[in-house]
Amino acid sequence: DKDRVRAEYAMTTRRLEITVKNLQEKVAEQLVEIARGHEALKGLAVEKKDKNQALSDLQAKNAELKQREEDLHRLSEKLAQAERVLEKRALELQKLEQMYDDASFSSSNRQIELVARESELEKLASDIALLKSQRKEADRHSQEIASESKAAREALKAEKKKTAELEKKVERLLAT
């Protein structure tokens, strides 16, 4: 009877030892899995930080592009105002040309005055040509800025989407 009790005790002890060993192995595996999870979280945190930096860089660039657009708009308004002034001057020049034609039949003193006005007319025509050239350059520059702005907005949208996906991954990893 004692032998049977000893045998049962030995069997129970052995079963407990095996159970303890299995539990220790499970704990070790879980610790390894937890360590892997921590490493993955660290990697995701670094990646999130990089994405946030890229996002803030893109937002800064977007703000700069908006400022450029505003500057370009102001320049366009100034150019439009200058064109209006030039149109007004062109009308004045037309009037001066008419006066010149009328005065050419008058005295020689008036002809001398008209020669001086012709030189003003040439200078104004040169100014008009220069301003038209500057207008074309400003329009081209405006189109370039608009293209850059559009590309920056699209890149910003893509980075926001990537950041949201990374945050979801981090939340899922933290939840497990």
Question: pLDDT tens digits for 113-128?
Answer: 768 889 999 999 999 9
| Token pair in block for residue 141 | 């520059």
> For residue 134, is pLDDT > 90?
yes
∠ CA(161), CA(164), CA(169), 5° rounding?
Answer: 125
How many domains does the chain fold into?
Answer: 1
d(CA 39, CA 45): 10
Q: Domain with 63 in it: what CATH number? A: 1.10.287
pTM of model > 0.75: no
For residue 78, name the pLDDT band (cuts at 50, 70, 90).
very high
Helix, strand, coil fractions of the chain, as percent rounded to 5: 95, 0, 5
**Which residue, chain included where needed, has tokens 């405006």?**
142
Look up the domain containing 67 and give its range: 2-175
Q: Give residues with Cβ within 8 angstroms of 75, minimum separation 6.
A: 138
> For residue 74, is pLDDT > 90?
yes
155: exposed, middle or buried (C-beta count within 10 Å: 0-12, 13-18, 19+)? middle
d(CA 157, CA 47): 17
> For residue 101, is pLDDT > 90?
no
